A and B are shown apart, each in its own frame.
Chain A
Amino acid sequence: MAELKRILHVDDDEDIRVIANMALEMVGNLEVLQCGSGREATEKAADFAPDLFLLDYMMPEMDGEQTLRALRNLPGLQYVPVIFMTARVQADIADGLRREGALEVITKPFDPMELANQIREVWSSRPVVQLRQAV
């Protein structure tokens, strides 16, 4: 199974981006591209070629689900796994996101000392889709 190296993190809250960046880069030793909106993410994602999307669920203009749809329409990114983060703790929302294929829904506030471990655990236990190449 491929190692998790590059995460695209999208959150409209600048302070949370700072904390998450430290949690993932400084503590977790991951390479992170951060964007403040779904629109910015769709502009930069393809060049970054992330292994994983980490998306805030509640964002203005494009919310997390809309951002995911836009990202998945980009060439080469249609199978990138996603984890959502949300301050909303309604179980039905989290269940719905998991049903739609989210690897995990992480509830804010997250522990910055544990975030990278949490994401790596989810990453390593994800079901891997075997894509059969056309001959």
Chain B
Amino acid sequence: MSVVSHELRTPLTSIKGALRLLGSGAMGDFDAQAKSVLDIAERNTETLLLIVNDILDLEKIRAGKMRLEKSDVDLVSFLNDVVEMNTGYGAEFQVDFDFSTRLDTAMARLAPERMMQVFANLLSNAAKYSPTNDTVRVGLEDDGEYWQVSVTDRGPGIPESARETVFESFGQVQNTDGKTRKGTGLGMAIARKIVLAHGGEIDFESEPGHGTTFYVRLRKPHLEADLGQGDTETASYPMLPSKDL
């Protein structure tokens, strides 16, 4: 699967590049109808590329090749960055992100880029399912051995019957409003595997018709001495059953 995905990236480079050159106007202008067709092709190429990248990520985890370059991170400033970096995406759906916490600092040891991927996924899903002009709330709490991050939307909610499939590959669920939203169908599977590879937990609570809260729980460093230890780990847990790919 990994080889196939790499092979797909080469023709995708040409397709995406060609469409970008045409769409940018660098090769002349198109009328509105032609431009709208180009936009469709560009958007769908982007979606295909995201799927290929997601498959590569899943395969890396399965093969034990995803590196977790961990560092000491203050979750308070990290989540402020998460919200800031995803503001543009939320704006596409006319949804704001709001992060608030009573904590001043919350030190954790994590791979920032990978954990950013996890929260970008949760925030983008929350934005997609939120009513327009609504706010997605991001919270951070001290929960004993863990820091608990929450991402809450007031979307249609996830039916209990879909609980088992939310974190599966291509496990997009039909929400209680009967609609599915665009996505690669792999993001939540990747998010779960990244969180588990950090020794954390991910879960959700949902009330049909009222919204959903996803929780990510990250273990606190047990001792001060834990901070600064172990710069790089390779994520191989949990192994994916072959059916996932």
A-B contact count (CB 8 A): 54
Known interface pairs A22-B21, A91-B67. Does A109 touch B6 (Cβ–Cβ under 8 Å)? no
Chain B residues within 8 Å of A23, by CB: 17, 21
Interface window among B8-16, B33-41, B128-136: B8-16
- B6, A19: Cβ atoms closer than 8 Å: no
A19 to B9, CA, bound (A): 15
Q: Would you give the shortest CB distance from B27 to chain A, in whole angstroms?
A: 8
A12 to B166, CA, bound (A): 41
Known interface pairs A90-B65, A92-B67, A113-B26. Does A19 touch B10 (Cβ–Cβ under 8 Å)? no
- A19, B18: Cβ atoms closer than 8 Å: yes
B115 lies within 8 A of chain A by Cβ: no
Chain B residues within 8 Å of A36, by CB: none
Known interface pairs A15-B14, A89-B56. Does A109 touch B67 (Cβ–Cβ under 8 Å)? no
Chain B residues within 8 Å of A62, by CB: none
Question: Which residues of chain B in 1-51 are interfacial with respect to chain A, using CB atoms and an 8 Å cutoff?
Answer: 6, 9-14, 16-18, 20-21, 24, 26-27, 49
Known interface pairs A89-B56, A90-B65. Does A112 touch B6 (Cβ–Cβ under 8 Å)? no
A58 to B17, CA, bound (A): 19
- A87, B26: Cβ atoms closer than 8 Å: no
- A26, B67: Cβ atoms closer than 8 Å: no
A89 to B56, CA, bound (A): 9
Chain A residues within 8 Å of B16, by CB: 109
A113 to B65, CA, bound (A): 32
Known interface pairs A16-B10, A16-B13, A16-B14. Does A27 touch B65 (Cβ–Cβ under 8 Å)? no
A43 lies within 8 A of chain B by Cβ: no
- What 1/0 mask marks residues of chain A from 46 to 76 whose CB sits below 8 Å from any chain B CB? 0000000000000000000000000000000
Q: Would you give the shortest CB distance from A114 to chain B, in whole angstroms?
A: 9
* CB-contact partner of A87 in B6, B18, B20, under 8 A: B6
A40 lies within 8 A of chain B by Cβ: no
Chain B residues within 8 Å of A19, by CB: 13-14, 17-18, 21
Chain B residues within 8 Å of A5, by CB: none
* CB-contact partner of B26 in A27, A92, A110, under 8 A: A27
- A109, B26: Cβ atoms closer than 8 Å: no
A110 to B15, CA, bound (A): 11
- B18, A108: Cβ atoms closer than 8 Å: no
* CB-contact partner of B21 in A88, A91, A112, under 8 A: A112
Chain B residues within 8 Å of A108, by CB: 9-10, 13
Chain A residues within 8 Å of B21, by CB: 19, 22-23, 27, 112-113
- A110, B17: Cβ atoms closer than 8 Å: yes
- B24, A110: Cβ atoms closer than 8 Å: no
Known interface pairs A110-B17, A111-B20, A113-B26. Does A88 touch B10 (Cβ–Cβ under 8 Å)? no
30 contacts between A and B (CB under 8 A): A15-B18, A16-B14, A18-B14, A19-B14, A19-B18, A19-B21, A20-B17, A22-B21, A22-B26, A23-B21, A27-B21, A27-B26, A87-B6, A87-B10, A87-B13, A88-B6, A108-B10, A108-B13, A109-B13, A109-B17, A109-B49, A110-B17, A111-B17, A111-B20, A112-B20, A112-B21, A113-B20, A113-B21, A113-B24, A113-B26
- Chain A positions within 8 Å of B, measured between CB atoms, are 13, 15-16, 18-20, 22-23, 26-27, 87-92, 108-113
Given contacts A16-B10, A19-B14, A108-B9, 14 further A-B contacts (CB under 8 A): A13-B14, A15-B11, A16-B13, A19-B13, A19-B18, A19-B21, A22-B21, A23-B17, A27-B21, A87-B10, A87-B13, A108-B13, A109-B16, A111-B20
